[in-house]
Amino acid sequence: MRPLPISPLRMQLSPFSWLELHHGWLPAPGPAMAALTNELAWTQQAIPMFGKDVLQPRLTAVCGKSMKPASRYRRANPDTPWTPMAAQVLDRVHRTCPAWRPNGLIANWYRDGADSIDWHSDSEPALGQDPTVVSASLGATRTFLLKPRDGGPKTAIKLGDGDLLIMGGRTQSEYRHSIAKVQQPTGARISLTFRHYLPTPGSCRPLNQRKGGR
């Protein structure tokens, strides 16, 4: 396994919110994506919308600790063993963020440009106050969008094969993010979003942060 990148791109969104982008973070992302496609138990979940259940425009899977209680967008799955490839990527996340210990994974499989995720933030009570969220991208490049909750210009970031995005500080309380649909032909993409679920939901105990306020 090659050394971790030493010069990530850091973006200060506000005095209290930041992003960190590691291009080419994961070696051999193609074989990793192929393994995850076969290993994970993919489903297409339905969410309540306008009085009826609507299928999400993507496939999802989980590993590790479950999010409890359930949110509007995600049911509380049973705790799920880590698959071999998911465990390898988790180990690399631990090396990149040694002071932060994720214990759960939500995977999204965008099969083509018609699959997407609407504006949201990772702010469920099970994550506590100001959670760190780390996401690895595999496959086709898609545009990750952020916008301030209180209004303002959007930020667009191209996430490519093997890239890692870290969202820290107050990003989840100050911003929303999305992956929009695209019209042009686009290949499949898998995102692996690592989170730390608190043992007691709603305790709002800040997570351990990296040095320098991260």
List, as one string, the DSSP characters of 78-138. PPBPPPHHHHHHHHHHHHHSTT----EEEEEEE-STT--EEEE----GGG-SS--EEEEEE
The number of domains in the chain is 1
In a domain, 207, yes or no: no
Cα separations in angstroms, 63 against 67, 78, 79, 90, 147? 10, 9, 7, 10, 28
In a domain, 115, yes or no: yes
Q: What is the pLDDT of residue 110?
A: 98
Question: Would you call 191 helix, strand, or coil by DSSP?
Answer: strand
In a domain, 201, yes or no: no
In a domain, 2, yes or no: no
Residue carrying structure tokens 């702010």: 123
Mean pLDDT of the chain: 87
Q: What is the pLDDT of residue 51?
A: 77
In a domain, 63, yes or no: yes
Cα dihedral 198, 200, 204, 209 sign: negative
Q: How far is residue 102's CA from residue 128's CA, in Å, rounded to a whole number?
A: 13
Single-letter amino acid code for the residue at 33: M
Find the CATH number of the domain harbouring 122: 2.60.120.590
Minimum mean pLDDT range among 45-49, 79-83, 132-136, 203-207 = 203-207
Residue 146 reports pLDDT greater than 60: yes
Burial (CB count <10 Å: 0-12, 13-18, 19+), residue 177: buried
Q: What is the pLDDT of residue 203?
A: 39
In a domain, 86, yes or no: yes
Contacts of 50 (CB under 8 A, 6+ apart): none
Residue 40 reports pLDDT greater than 90: yes
User: pLDDT-based confidence at 96, cuts 50/70/90?
Assistant: very high
Q: What is the pLDDT of residues 2-32, one digit of tens each?
A: 444 445 899 999 999 999 999 999 999 999 9
In a domain, 145, yes or no: yes
Which pTM was predicted?
0.85
Distance between alpha carbon 110 and the CA centroid of its chain, in Å? 13
Q: What is the pLDDT of residue 70?
A: 55
**Domain limits at 118?**
9-195
Residue 119 reports pLDDT greater than 60: yes
What's the half-sphere exposure (Cβ side, CA atoms, 13 Å) at 197? 22
In a domain, 206, yes or no: no
